[in-house]
Chain A
Amino acid sequence: MTNFILKYSEATEPDVKKMTAVLSAHGVRVLDGSLLPTTALVEIEESSLAVIQTDLGTEWNIYPEKNYGIPGTQKKAKRKS
């Protein structure tokens, strides 16, 4: 299971019932729903990604969760001498 961000891309109100039904049907778990109804962090089996995208329709985008770092300037010795 991998974390993805589900994001509604249209200016109109999203069809939450349809979205919820698709997520339930594929056993998708909502990890953070604080930005619903337009955005949510969800846990998806990668093999189901394409079919979930198809079922949700083009008005929903699915992006991978990524990790951001603070751009540091300290030099690092990466290998043992």
Chain B
Amino acid sequence: MKQQRKSSENYILLPISKTRVNPNESPKVAEFFTQLQSSSEATTAISLNVRKRPAQNSDEITVTVLDSIDTEGAKLISISKEELANFRFSYPGVRIIPERFYSPAIASREIMKIRLSETQPLTTVNLRISNAARQGIPGVTAVFFSDFSASRGASGVTDAKGQVTLKLNGTKAERIYLYPEHSYWGHYATDVTLKRDMNYTLEQFLPGYKDALRYFYHTSTWRPIERKVKVGVIDTGIGPHEDLTVLGGKNLVRGEEESRYGDVEGHGTHVAGIIAAGGHMKGVAEGAELMSYRVFAKGQGASNFDIIKAIDQAIKDGCDLINMSLGEAQDDEAISSYIKDAYNAGILCFAANGNDNRGPVSFPAAYSLAIAVSAMGRKGTFPDSSVQSGAIHEPFGTDEANFIADFSNQGSETDLTAPGVGIISTYPGNHYAVMDGTSMSCPAAAGMAARILAGSPKILDLPRNQTRADEMVKYLAIYTKLLGFGANFEGKGMLYTNDELHSKI
């Protein structure tokens, strides 16, 4: 594994609910806080046990307790950033929140950027995109950049004949991206001389193609999970698709019919397929019970109120896991209070780290009770000319074919990583599509969690309370493997189910 820098930072420890631990409700957390309290009086480093497989050597996390509000109250600790995910998985009954410092709200002078206008010739490009049989492909989004760093360029969508006309300044495109809706790999090219008539041929894929998800998880040979695990997908809806069985759900979009929880946009159907597809293409947890909670009105964002209604409904429906491949930059207490309710009802929420090109981890992934998932990829699991090749970026893993996708957000809140580059899954109309993003890695992790938890009926049969959620997190911690990206990029690593895969990673 690559050498990781051990830098310590301060964090505040709090019980899951409220600000003081109740020894009657959470005796284990109370005992843990008492242990930390005694350490705080001497301000010395203490070693905490780490949750690992019994066969593995024991490991410890070193923390220093810097301050404390009584025995039952908050603790200020110093801990290595590299150990954060380890801590969260080992002590799930405790919230760990970064210490923050606030500054006076002094208005700063705004810096104005003035861009000199360039006089360049206008080039009109008649673009045609076709398949190997020379048939035009409709619905392909073509994005041509004349200046990528300034986001200057032109874009359009191909018509029924696979044609679109673009007008750009200059005679060269710094970058070209072609994004088909489904059935084909996209295309990526750099430094292309523009011509009046340009043609591109896209490569079709088959559902059996070994993408990054199937490189790590042999879904085609895996048996359906035997113990029922219910996974709620809060998204654009699911299906219908011949490879997907949706147990139920609800449309939470205000003003729309509750029974219309199908998908017309594709994102939710793709997410659901990664979790539980069971037909020509297999998800990682075929047999998991899918619940569709639609919160996105067509072509629009989702209200946080509709999202909390969806979480509330997932709690009422008895979901075990919730997948949220969505996010925004700012904290949102309305949603975090409902994620806490879900956790207290024994449900784990998985959320996407976000795709802001190494930006900070998005909310709700950044919330301490959500499981934040970054996106990784593997060279050789997509064509060289595909848009996925543009996502290859450092850090590379211990196996240098593995990489954290260039778009994936990173930060100490990251809990897990999973394949999220060039992932093939279900798409409305009984199609299949390639998609990228933490939107795809999130269900890969949630689906794997469903598969792993299906192996522990004892945990699934626990009363639906915080202890159940704690035990689920601890159990998942046993089935993780570091890939060598560093904690900010991978947290506790990737979920796996067996030693064969363990040795492969």
Contact = CB atoms under 8 A, between A and B. Distances in A.
Interface of A: 3, 5, 7, 9, 31-32, 34-35, 39, 41, 61, 63, 65-81
A15 to B, nearest CB: 19
A81 B153 contact: yes
A35 B169 contact: no
Which 8 pairs between the two chains have the least Cβ-Cβ distance?
A77-B153, A67-B301, A78-B151, A63-B334, A81-B169, A71-B355, A81-B168, A81-B146
Interface stretch (B207-215, B238-246, B324-332, B468-476): B324-332
B151 A76 contact: yes
Contacts of B143: 74-77
B328 A68 contact: yes
A74 to B, nearest CB: 5
B266 to A, nearest CB: 10
23 contacts: A3-B305, A5-B304, A7-B337, A32-B254, A35-B308, A35-B309, A41-B305, A67-B304, A68-B301, A69-B326, A69-B327, A69-B328, A71-B437, A73-B436, A74-B141, A74-B143, A75-B177, A76-B151, A77-B144, A77-B151, A77-B155, A81-B168, A81-B170
A35 B304 contact: no
Chain B interface: which size bin?
Answer: 35 or more
Contacts of A3: 303, 305
Contacts of B400: none
A72 B437 contact: yes
Contacts of A79: 150-153
A6 to B, nearest CB: 10
Contact of A31 (B170, B254, B436): B254
A72 B439 CA distance: 8
A1 to B, nearest CB: 15
Nearest to B327: A71
Contacts of A76: 143, 151, 155
Given A68-B327, A68-B328, A77 B305 contact: no
A9 B325 CA distance: 27
Contacts of B405: 73
B12 interface: no
A78 B152 CA distance: 6
Nearest to B352: A71
Interface in B298-331: 300-305, 307-309, 312, 325-328, 330
Given A63-B333, A73-B437, A81-B153, A32 B305 contact: yes
Nearest to B153: A77
